[in-house]
Structure 1
């Protein structure tokens, strides 16, 4: 008993000593300083506890109720001493590697426990494997020693006009739409003033901060003092009354720049992407923006009217951005919300708030439309539209909304709902896909809701929804024929050549003699067939334009009879897209005489001039592309169809191969190819090959024009060969991508729609 009691006392003493040692070895950092946080708006580190046995991070996450989050098993820490990763051991308050559904409060606190990090480490990075996973860099393992109070590190607005004046971050300061670094900070003795010396490499400035109280400070710079507030709503707002007026078109560019909060060069993301809807070509254009090491980015965006563009990145925020020719916009992203500065700040702030009032919900519509007849569906959507317009007018009456934002949003509502109403048959059949119920025929009065003053008004181009409306209007169900049969009228075609002052050659004169008296057929035999073939080849561009015009005019006559709609900007845009689209997307310029003929049905002079400019730029691009290199047009292997792919693979033995089945006329194919263009540059020294396969449906001339813009190995197969591969990989539509590993085995016969980051991860997995 005594021995047992002594043993217990000894064990207890030893246990208490361990606790004492453990407690003494612990270090707690409350509200640690954090660098880049990919989820800064939702995820906060509130505390770090380090000890001899573990590193514990305390988190609070704010996320919509009912949605799920997950802490993956590959979650890790990495310190600033070595390259080792410390993988998660345990969680408290949230399950590990399982879906956790957020409670109704939308807020959860939890702890993640990792092995101890290097004792010499002064900072750690938190993350999950993968480029797009959560990342938090430069988490300090010591209390901040900054002379600036933590409350200073945020965005500050001018109390007199609500403009973003300055923003303080860990490493950089945003001031006057430029990025500055801290050079020196001096806190004056016996004074509340702090002087900060900042530099951008070219110039140095002195800032003085005083009077930090109730979320306000006084800032003195260049001998001027202004009062600032971190709450923009507490500032006086000077509402911009200027409106958009005609002429709205202007061939110019906007300056778009910004800063990514606490950006770290350790991020895999080195670029942003702008998506720009070109309303004249009807196509979406992509523009890559490079991020500098300090998180700054800037680019010129070629636009010809005020318009909404879409900013996409792997860094938290994905935003609609509104730009105007000749004006600038500066944004801060990666913060709790996007901050705006520059000439277009107020407009973008207003539109960002207005977008939250949208009532249209596609999922809700799919539930409602199942049993709706066309006019019931139309009435339902018009009621939503009227409610949104009423709410918009109510906000305007408060006097807190800029007039341009009101103009844009009003047109967005009208054009957006017009497009939704046109889409009844598609939405109905999508909602009833299980029962395969067909939509009813549209009643004769179905389209009587069109506001012709708006849809044919040049100012409508300021709405991001107008481009979609044009597309829907080009294919109106119940009016646009599902099939359009066309008979060649050789006489009309030939007379049009003459009417457009296209000089007739000897070949033209020989061909004219072959045209029958009715003009619809040719009088030819085997000896005259070469004349026909040569003439059709020589005038291929003209014939395409002639046939496009005929089809367009036929449809426009149907529209006129249905709506009595006058020719205006809407019709001009429809015609412009027919002409401009192939010039831009297929790099198929039109020669001078044919171009004038193509433009003859367009009344708007700007559209004509712009298409001419596009045509000239495409011609220059074709010349430049052929000098760039990086593309290889291969002869189709002279083997049986079932051996073609094996032959292609054998040429790239030992390499990972991404095979892309595409066509020159396939818009999604071309968008996807443009999307991964930066990836090819990133992986140019990797053991990866990009192979592009098309068939004879890609016209040879267009194919030869486009290929120089697509770096990789190219093959143009005969239709029979294509059909064999289409059957092998179950290709029912393009684009279609296939992944082949270094051993030449197909590891994924259909990748699906993946973004650049996902494709990179797959390729690296097999390297």
Structure 2
């Protein structure tokens, strides 16, 4: 009897076990390895023997549309599982995002095999279709460390230095061997480095990614230390580069998936996933990427929010405000748990902001007024009289720390700091008694960069540096001009720059658009160093042979001489349209004429020749729809 009962018990147990395999499996908030979009997230996956259901969250601009293709599929172990149904969205139809910019819907697919550990969501095989890779079904809560990154590079990037390294005042050709860990060809075809330089602004560099190896190679001249923004698909972050070094840079492409997980955790108040580093790299400044140097707390002034300063402040009140903010934040840094180098780096960032705050104090108070009154139309009178800052006000800041410390080039706001010190309207070195220091050299050298970048530097220009002891500045300018001449020779004949009409400045714009009477003309004010300009131009190029292809639409691009001549001539062959490069005087007049508040800015000319500023065209969709309606 006991044996029979035991047999029946075992049989029931097996039957129950078999029954359990037929039950639904639910994976909440699955880890996502990487993605080519931040628009979609998968908050839950339900699996059974008949279907796989994705509970999908969408995040996009309110009033804009997204679309899910009926060709969507899941990819697991090399096999495709087709979309079979939707709920809350119709496949192949425009789905308009609500005012919240958030929506949810369900996508149903053929069943994945039991035991599937992960899958890819592929919205379609088109280049810009949504793709989420490595959607985990095992309940994994953290990313594994990648095995393709050398241990010595990891060690160099994770070991914080005892102090922030000194800036290297050298000239050299820098080489970056970029390795994309966890790379999939659908994530990106090219990699970008935006080099924020000491002397010549932000310089963009682009390299094709070898889809077989996931590598991209960069080589460029560097004059002094530089911070670089690295951007590959959805992944981006910052590194420091010393001039003339050859480094290996390992970018973790899973960072794109982590962006999605971080937003999910913040939106739904879920535990945060373990943070993975953006990258690891070798070289002199590798230690500046050590996570221990940085805090989740922000120790900055937030200068550009429109809330930093009250427009009603007098110059003396504003000065007191800046100094008070600096002292409070520096005290917070001193009391933080950051290591010594982390505290030093945070303080450098703060000092850079303080210098900019005093150099641009009149602007920041005006900015506050515009923000408070929502008055961004610069063609209208401001209705405000600013109590202008004086040398005495700026001298108060100089009592707190030396603005001539070369280490101030090693912070996050190095370009803004350098521009503030070299501001032609402010005599910083004289005001602060810093003649003959690093700050004095910076102020003398930076105005000559534009000439060197345009092959217009003269011996008379260089003589202004005779009192500067450090030979770096003279050598850098000469090398910059030498490289400019060599590159100009290489691009000779490849770029067409229109002859600027020889008319008084007040008639210049009309002369530029006169040959296109009866057509729609879009005039784009831009410069090579303007990242938003480049992004907007890149987005527009496909339209010229697509939706906006028309003989009745003319594209005119206006830049000025702050665009280095070589970079300008390298870029414009790939930008279809008419190109004008104006003098400072011509540019200033047109900016004043149209009340241009920054670039990119757009002036639209209709078929009747009437024109006006259209900065609502910074909304790419608005630009496209408006132009399409006008040419149709």
TM-score (norm 1): 0.56
**2:583 corresponds to 1:714:** no
**2:403 corresponds to 1:455:** yes
CA RMSD in angstroms, aligned pairs only: 5.7
Answer yes or no: is the 8 Å Cα contact 1:125–1:136 preserved in 2: yes
SS in 2 for 1:566: coil
User: Which residue is 2:352 aligned to?
Assistant: 415
Alignment equivalent of 1:290, drawn from 192, 195, 208: 208
User: Which residue is 1:155 aligned to?
Assistant: 144
**In the TM superposition, what are the counterparts of 1:523-602 in structure 2 within 5 Å?**
556=427, 560=430, 562-584=431-453, 587-590=454-457, 593-594=459-460, 596-597=462-463, 599-602=465-468
Answer yes or no: is the 8 Å Cα contact 1:260–1:296 preserved in 2: no
1:616 deviates by 0.5
Alignment equivalent of 2:556, drawn from 678, 685, 692: 692
Alignment equivalent of 1:319, drawn from 232, 237, 245: 237
Alignment equivalent of 1:431, drawn from 340, 360, 368: 368
Answer yes or no: is the 8 Å Cα contact 2:561–2:582 preserved in 1: no
SS in 2 for 1:319: strand
* Mapped partners of 1:414, 1:462: distance in 2: 11
SS in 1 for 2:466: helix
* Mapped partners of 1:659, 1:672: distance in 2: 17
**2:391 corresponds to 1:472:** no
1:437 deviates by 2.5
* Mapped partners of 1:41, 1:737: distance in 2: 28
> Highest Rg: 1 or 2?
1
Alignment equivalent of 2:328, drawn from 380, 387, 397: 387
> Bigger CA drift: 446-455 or 666-675?
666-675
Specify every segment of 5 or more residues in structure 2 that has no aligned partner in the other structure, as ranges.
Answer: 1-20, 90-94, 114-118, 259-274, 374-381, 503-507
1:569-611 deviation per Cα after TM superposition (whole angstroms, max 9, x unaligned)? 1121122111112332xx23335x4454354354320111111
SS in 2 for 1:334: helix
1:756 deviates by 9.1
* Mapped partners of 1:367, 1:706: distance in 2: 36
Q: Which has the higher contact order (CA 8 A, sep 6+)?
A: 2
1:456 deviates by 1.7
Closer/same/farther in 2, CA of residues 87 and 289 from structure 1, 3 Å limit: farther
User: Which residue is 1:520 aligned to?
Assistant: none
Closer/same/farther in 2, CA of residues 361 and 748 from structure 1, 3 Å limit: same
* Mapped partners of 2:256, 2:360: distance in 1: 36
* Mapped partners of 1:690, 1:626: distance in 2: 25
Closer/same/farther in 2, CA of residues 51 and 329 from structure 1, 3 Å limit: same
Answer yes or no: is the 8 Å Cα contact 1:76–1:128 preserved in 2: no
User: Which residue is 1:511 aligned to?
Assistant: none
**2:148 corresponds to 1:174:** yes
* Mapped partners of 2:134, 2:625: distance in 1: 26
1:619 deviates by 0.8
Closer/same/farther in 2, CA of residues 320 and 238 from structure 1, 3 Å limit: closer
**In the TM superposition, what are the counterparts of 1:167-206 in structure 2 within 5 Å?**
167=146, 174-176=148-150
* Mapped partners of 1:641, 1:247: distance in 2: 45
* Mapped partners of 1:386, 1:738: distance in 2: 44
Closer/same/farther in 2, CA of residues 618 and 749 from structure 1, 3 Å limit: same
* Mapped partners of 1:455, 1:579: distance in 2: 21
* Mapped partners of 2:362, 2:215: distance in 1: 46
User: Which residue is 2:199 aligned to?
Assistant: 280
Answer yes or no: is the 8 Å Cα contact 2:434–2:440 preserved in 1: no
SS in 1 for 2:614: coil
TM-score (norm 2): 0.66
1:167-209 deviation per Cα after TM superposition (whole angstroms, max 9, x unaligned)? 2xxxxx5332899xxxxxxxxxxxxxxxxxxxxxxxxxxxxxx
Answer yes or no: is the 8 Å Cα contact 1:280–1:607 preserved in 2: no
1:667-708 deviation per Cα after TM superposition (whole angstroms, max 9, x unaligned)? 57866665567669878976689843559x979xx9899556
User: Which residue is 1:605 aligned to?
Assistant: 471
1:398-425 deviation per Cα after TM superposition (whole angstroms, max 9, x unaligned)? 5x6363x444332211121121133322
User: Which residue is 1:340 aligned to?
Assistant: 279
Closer/same/farther in 2, CA of residues 328 and 451 from structure 1, 3 Å limit: farther
**2:298 corresponds to 1:357:** yes
User: Which residue is 1:90 aligned to?
Assistant: 88
Alignment equivalent of 2:228, drawn from 309, 312, 323: 309
Instruction: Provide the aligned length of Structure 1 versus Structure 2.
Output: 541
